[in-house]
Structure 1
Amino acid sequence: MIRSELLKKLVDENPELKIEEVEKILDLFFNQITQQLAEDGRVELRGFGAFSTRERASRKGRNPRTGEAVDVPSKRVPYFKPGKEMRERLNND
């Protein structure tokens, strides 16, 4: 599901809200998650999962075009850990 599909589904399920209001809510939701992660925080949505960041160490990489060795700097990357309820629903055979 992409953002526009999510937006349409929310509008369809909440006819009392205008599309602009739902867009503002979605923007606020995603911006708050992004801001919290940028501040090295964690966001937990019970039953769904937790967003956090992980540190990747610097390393030697290779330019795929030339094969030349390049330095890849350390960086933080987003990480998602699914919650118990989500894992159970995905693996319910």
Structure 2
Amino acid sequence: MAKPMTKTQLVAALADEMGADKKSASAALDAVVNVITREVSGGGAVTLPGVGKIYCRERPARMVRNPATGEQIQKPADKVVKMTIAKALKDSVND
């Protein structure tokens, strides 16, 4: 498995793709991340065309096991961020 792309590498690739400087590309990336964070933390969802859908899902309270002791404990309800990958991206990976 290849190493994940770092933010610096992503900004450089984005700047090259946009034909802009790295400062503009970094600002654009930060703006997109801020919009996604604000929308998902508010209970909404964001669809990135060709990439997928990012959304927040509530998990009910449940019993879990402490791996160190084997003790069963009650875990309260919480929220988790999920992402459904777009079919186009899945298909491009499997070609």
For the residues of structure 2 that align with 1:86 and 1:16, how far apart are their CA atoms?
Answer: 25
Question: Counterpart amino acid of 2:14?
Answer: L
Provide the aligned length of Structure 1 versus Structure 2: 91
Equivalent in the alignment of 1:8: 12
In the TM superposition, 1:1-93 aligns within 5 A as 1-14=5-18, 16-17=20-21, 19-92=22-95
In the superposition, the TM-score normalised over structure 2's length comes to 0.79
CA-atom RMSD in angstroms: 1.8
Among the aligned pairs, what percent are the same residue? Answer: 32
Following TM superposition, the consecutive aligned residue runs of length 4 or more in structure 1 with deviations greater than 6 angstroms are: none
For the residues of structure 1 that align with 2:43 and 2:53, how far apart are their CA atoms?
Answer: 13
Question: Counterpart amino acid of 1:24?
Answer: A
How big is the shift at 1:15? 5.1
